[in-house]
């Protein structure tokens, strides 16, 4: 089978198209013929060696954590899905080694869900990691409730696009932070207010809308944006980030603010609920660009620009 792999950390130039043996499913696993793999900013961070102190890495590494595809073989005890059934999954493992940029993968059956029936199977690869991240960040860690106000930074990206929709479905007041060219897109997704981080002072604009601050700030960008989150929430508010994992509360800009770090975990039950939302028209999966497997380096360069609207995927065929 064809796969993308790398044997050292570095730029996109380390990515190589190689031939590998088709893996055999072990107990509780299924073999999947991959239709498409999601491309995520974390793939680039791993390739650059930035997660090596957080998650063990074993070379050679096949990148990628989410996929869409079809079941082609069962391992012992794995019978929840039929041969040929279309599925999606987020398969971050305890060790980074066997990813989804490959024509075939084995994955624990408990990590996967049926694929949405109403969208192309290729596009379905855009849902697992970004959808689960958004859900776990704003609900599991952020505790977002009905009628609360939430600011979402990087709102037009993969995770942000899902966060806007999920928060709007909760009847929250969504303030989406993104460049002006994406404001109409975000309003269609359910944002009540949009702020252009390029030409506007975000903190001032948020305080005009909510003088006491918002209930929850969700950071998908990191750096200075993370610090700004603490200036726009109420004194009783919460901040959630998917990038800033600070080891000590004393290092926070405002230690009194409730802060949570979210590193998304596989959860097939939640993924199945997201799948149902897509089928019921409550959740839109937007794919900005699709690359063939042999152009994985270009996909990494594109997502590294940091201005993706929705998701990028890699198609196997």
pLDDT digits (tens, 9 = 90+) for 100-144: 999 999 999 999 999 999 999 999 999 999 999 999 999 999 999
Question: Are 230 and 163 in a shared domain?
Answer: yes
The answer to pTM > 0.75 is yes
User: Which CATH number do you get for residue 189?
Assistant: 3.40.50.720
Inside any domain, residue 42 = yes
Inside any domain, residue 273 = no
Inside any domain, residue 156 = yes
In this model, does residue 82 exceed pLDDT 70? yes
Q: Calculate the average pLDDT of the chain.
A: 96
pLDDT digits (tens, 9 = 90+) for 182-195: 999 999 999 999 99
Inside any domain, residue 86 = yes
Round to whole Å and give the CA distance between 238 and 170: 17
Question: Are 107 and 188 in a shared domain?
Answer: no
Question: Are 251 and 219 in a shared domain?
Answer: yes
Question: Are 252 and 143 in a shared domain?
Answer: yes
User: Which CATH number do you get for residue 296?
Assistant: 3.90.180.10
Inside any domain, residue 33 = yes
Are the C-beta atoms of 177 and 161 separated by less than 8 Å? no
The pLDDT of residue 247 is: 64
Q: What is the CA 177 to chain-centroid distance, rounded?
A: 17
pLDDT digits (tens, 9 = 90+) for 223-261: 999 999 999 999 999 999 999 887 667 778 888 899 999
Question: Are 61 and 20 in a shared domain?
Answer: yes
Are the C-beta atoms of 1 and 20 separated by less than 8 Å? yes
Q: For residues 23-30, give the mean pLDDT.
A: 98
pLDDT digits (tens, 9 = 90+) for 156-179: 999 999 999 999 999 999 999 999
Contact residues for 301 (Cβ-Cβ < 8 A; gap 6+): 12
Question: Are 244 and 150 in a shared domain?
Answer: yes
pLDDT digits (tens, 9 = 90+) for 8-24: 999 999 999 999 999 99
The range of the structural domain enclosing residue 157 comes to 130-261
Question: Are 145 and 121 in a shared domain?
Answer: no
Inside any domain, residue 274 = no
The pLDDT of residue 246 is: 77
> 3-state class of 142 per DSSP?
coil
Question: Are 76 and 191 in a shared domain?
Answer: no
Question: Are 156 and 253 in a shared domain?
Answer: yes
Give the percent of the chain with pLDDT over 90.
95
Inside any domain, residue 91 = yes
Burial 76-106 (b: 16+ CB within 10 A, else e): eebeebeeebbbbbbbbeeebebbbbbbbbb
Report residue 86 as tokens.
């279309």
The pLDDT of residue 138 is: 98
Question: Are 134 and 257 in a shared domain?
Answer: yes
Positive or negative, the CA dihedral 11, 14, 17, 22 is negative
- Give the confidence band of 33 by pLDDT, cuts at 50, 70, 90: very high
Q: What is the CA 295 to chain-centroid distance, rounded?
A: 21
> 3-state class of 66 per DSSP?
strand
Q: How many domains does the chain have?
A: 2
Question: Are 151 and 221 in a shared domain?
Answer: yes
In this model, does residue 71 exceed pLDDT 80? yes
Are the C-beta atoms of 245 and 219 separated by less than 8 Å? no
The pLDDT of residue 245 is: 86
The pLDDT of residue 67 is: 98
Question: Are 107 and 189 in a shared domain?
Answer: no
Inside any domain, residue 280 = no
Q: At what angle do helices 128-135 and 158-169 cross, to 10 degrees?
A: 50
CA angle, corner 112, sides to 88 and 116, nearest 5? 40
């Amino acid at each position: 089978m064809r796969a993308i792999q790398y044997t050292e950390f570095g730029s996109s130039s380390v990515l190589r198209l190689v031939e590998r043996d088709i893996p055999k499913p072990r107990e509780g696993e299924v073999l999947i013929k991959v239709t498409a793999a999601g491309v995520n900013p974390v793939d680039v961070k791993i390739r650059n060696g930035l997660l090596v102190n957080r998650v063990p890495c074993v070379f050679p590494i096949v990148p990628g954590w989410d996929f869409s595809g079809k079941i082609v073989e069962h391992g012992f005890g794995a019978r929840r899905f039929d041969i040929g059934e279309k599925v999606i999954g987020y398969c971050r493992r305890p060790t980074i080694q066997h990813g989804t940029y490959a024509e075939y993968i084995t994955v624990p059956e408990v990590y996967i869900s049926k694929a949405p029936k109403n969208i192309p199977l290729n596009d379905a690869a855009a849902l697992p990691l970004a959808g689960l991240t958004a859900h776990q960040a704003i609900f599991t860690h952020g505790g977002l409730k009905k009628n609360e106000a939430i600011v979402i930074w990087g709102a037009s990206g993969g995770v942000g696009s899902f966060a806007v929709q999920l928060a709007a479905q909760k009847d929250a007041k969504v303030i989406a932070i993104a460049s002006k060219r994406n404001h109409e897109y975000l309003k269609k997704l359910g944002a009540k207010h949009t702020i252009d981080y390029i030409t506007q002072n975000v903190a001032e604009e948020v305080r005009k809308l909510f003088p006491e601050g918002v209930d929850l700030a969700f950071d998908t960008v990191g750096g200075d944006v993370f610090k700004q989150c603490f200036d726009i929430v109420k004194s009783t508010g919460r901040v959630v980030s998917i990038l800033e994992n600070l080891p000590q509360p004393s290092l926070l800009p405002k230690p009194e603010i409730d802060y949570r770090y979210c590193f998304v975990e596989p959860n097939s039950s939640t993924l199945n609920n997201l799948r149902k939302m897509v089928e019921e028209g409550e959740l839109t999966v937007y794919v900005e660009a699709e690359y063939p497997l042999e152009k994985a380096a270009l996909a990494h360069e594109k997502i590294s620009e940091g201005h993706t609207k929705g998701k990028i995927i890699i198609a196997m065929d």
